[in-house]
């Protein structure tokens, strides 16, 4: 039997946490033959609730779940973890300035970076979900210099999956037949959902999404804004933000990263920019990636038209501004 993998979920008493931990314990994230030990971190006001989640995990009698650590101690939470899913953070509340929210999250991610650096297992893979996800991941990277930058990522897979979902609905095809959409940039409303390279698998071979949809006005307009604004639409409908879809996307992200992407398929991940596609280096920016042997690689050489170029630049500018704001909170 395989040794258990230790998976940390921060903010585990929250909404996404509640949807995510059972998925991990059922093998959705790492596969049906991979035992796991869950480490769950939250803050003291949520300690009782966190303990309730732990009780439910016991009650669910998951065969793959070999242990649960539920704690408000960051060091205990981070010790020995192989995978860290960072869902905990400070939410934006009404009337709060952007800078105040950033400042709270910068200090959380700075201290959790140090704890991971000192106590996580070697080669720990980190996924930041909490917003502002890209910039929280960047702060984590800056303050955990011994964790290789290739091990630090943020979640844009939910946006990617939303784009697949919209195309599938529009064309009346199964979502599993649609592939190779791209989310470029920030996990925010400036993200660019790009279908220029996306295809649908048909009995007659792969067909271009742009040709099948045959409505550029929709693809360049409503499709993009629907994906960009989907988070807000869910909040409006549920009075709570996306949780089951976010948890599922986090599992997809880690699973593909660890176990590899299927041949001919790429996914979107927020990763440290090396300057590919003339995106400023040194930002955590969402790119199309393939994964093999536990490592992601940015898909290279895709042609970028003028319309797309502007959108890649716009979301990059927003990330540069967020980075500057984050640094101004540090000093």
Kindly give the interhelix angle for 15-25 and 244-259, rounded to the nearest 10 degrees. Answer: 40
**Counting contacts by CB under 6 A, is residue 91 touching ligand NAI?**
yes
DSSP 193: E
Judged by CB under 6 A, which stretch of 23-31, 39-47, 207-215, 281-289 contacts ligand NAI?
A: 39-47
**Counting contacts by CB under 6 A, is residue 14 touching ligand NAI?**
yes
What does the per-residue mask of binding to ligand NAI show for 232-251, with x meaning CB under 6 A? ---------xxx--x-----
**Counting contacts by CB under 6 A, is residue 198 touching ligand NAI?**
no
Backbone angles phi, psi at 12, to 5 degrees: -70, -20
In the complex, minimum distance from the CB of residue 118 to ligand NAI, in angstroms, rounded to a whole number: 16
Q: Which is nearer to ligand NAI, 76 or 206 (CB)?
A: 76
Catalytic site includes residue 119? no
HSE at residue 272, side-chain half, CA atoms within 13 A, is 15
Residue 103, judged by CB atoms within 10 A of its CB (0-12, 13-18, 19+), counts as middle
| Secondary structure (DSSP) of 4-36 | PEEEEEETTTSHHHHHHHHHHHTTTTT-TT--E
CA dist., res. 161 & res. 176, Å (int): 10
> What residue has token string 């590899």?
260
> Residue 101 region, left (φ>0) first, then alpha (ψ -120 to 50), else beta?
alpha
Q: The tokens of 15 are what?
A: 């909404």
Is 28 assigned a ligand-binding role in the annotation?
A: no
In the complex, minimum distance from the CB of residue 235 to ligand NAI, in angstroms, rounded to a whole number: 10
Judged by CB under 6 A, which stretch of 13-21, 55-63, 196-204, 258-266 contacts ligand NAI?
A: 13-21
**Counting contacts by CB under 6 A, is residue 312 touching ligand NAI?**
no
C-beta nearest to ligand NAI: residue: 14
Is 26 assigned a ligand-binding role in the annotation?
A: no
User: Which of 15, 189, 190, 265 is in the footprint of ligand NAI by CB under 6 A?
Assistant: 15
Helix runs in 128-182, H state only: 133-142, 157-171
**Counting contacts by CB under 6 A, is residue 75 touching ligand NAI?**
no
HSE at residue 57, side-chain half, CA atoms within 13 A, is 30
User: Which of 7, 11, 35, 142 is in the footprint of ligand NAI by CB under 6 A?
Assistant: 11
| 3-state SS assignment for residue 312 | helix
**Counting contacts by CB under 6 A, is residue 41 touching ligand NAI?**
yes
* CB-based contacts of 46, cutoff 8 Å, min separation 6: 13, 14, 72
Judged by CB under 6 A, which stretch of 60-68, 89-97, 271-279, 299-307 contacts ligand NAI?
A: 89-97
CA dist., res. 44 & res. 172, Å (int): 47
Q: Which is nearer to ligand NAI, 120 or 200 (CB)?
A: 120
Is 14 assigned a ligand-binding role in the annotation?
A: yes
In the complex, minimum distance from the CB of residue 330 to ligand NAI, in angstroms, rounded to a whole number: 17
Is 19 assigned a ligand-binding role in the annotation?
A: no
Q: Which is nearer to ligand NAI, 42 or 194 (CB)?
A: 42
Contact 300, 80 (CB under 8 A): no
CA dist., res. 84 & res. 29, Å (int): 12
**Which residues participate in catalysis according to the annotation?**
187
Binding-site residues from annotation? 11-17, 42, 92, 98, 105, 129-131, 162
Binding-site residues from annotation for NAD(+)? 11-17, 42, 105, 129-131
Tell me which residues touch ligand NAI (CB under 6 A).
10-11, 13-17, 41-43, 46, 87-91, 108, 129-131, 133, 155, 158, 187, 241-243, 246
Binding-site residues from annotation for substrate? 92, 98, 131, 162
């Amino acid at each position: 039997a395989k040794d258990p993998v230790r998976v940390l979920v921060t903010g585990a008493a929250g909404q996404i946490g509640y949807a995510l931990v059972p998925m991990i314990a059922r093998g959705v994230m790492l596969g049906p033959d991979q035992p796991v030990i869950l480490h769950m971190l939250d803050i003291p006001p949520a300690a009782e609730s966190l303990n309730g989640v732990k009780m439910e995990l016991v009650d669910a009698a998951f065969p793959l779940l070999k242990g649960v650590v539920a704690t408000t101690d960051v060091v205990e939470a981070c010790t020995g973890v192989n995978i860290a899913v960072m869902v905990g953070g400070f939410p934006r509340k009404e009337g709060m300035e952007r800078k105040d929210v950033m400042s709270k999250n910068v200090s959380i991610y700075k201290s959790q970076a140090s704890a991971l650096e000192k106590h996580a297992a070697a080669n720990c893979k980190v996924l930041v979900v909490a917003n502002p996800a890209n910039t929280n991941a960047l702060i984590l990277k800056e303050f955990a210099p011994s964790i290789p930058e290739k091990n630090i990522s943020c979640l844009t897979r939910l946006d990617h999956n939303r784009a697949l979902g919209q195309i599938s609905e529009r064309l009346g095809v199964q979502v599993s037949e649609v592939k190779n959409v791209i989310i470029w940039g920030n996990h925010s409303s400036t993200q660019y959902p790009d279908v220029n390279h996306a295809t649908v698998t048909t009995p007659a071979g792969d067909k271009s999404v742009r040709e099948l949809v045959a409505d550029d006005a929709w693809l360049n307009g409503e499709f993009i804004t629907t994906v960009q604004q989907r988070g807000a639409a869910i909040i409006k409908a549920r009075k709570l933000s996306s949780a089951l879809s976010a948890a599922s996307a986090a599992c997809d992200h880690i699973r593909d990263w660890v176990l590899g992407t299927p041949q001919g398929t790429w996914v979107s991940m927020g990763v440290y920019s090396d300057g590919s596609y003339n995106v400023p280096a040194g930002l955590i920016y969402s790119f199309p990636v393939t994964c093999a042997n536990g490592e992601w690689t940015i898909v290279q050489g895709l042609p970028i038209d003028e319309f797309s170029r502007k959108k890649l630049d716009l979301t990059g500018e927003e990330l540069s501004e967020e980075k500057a704001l984050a640094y101004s909170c540090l000093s």
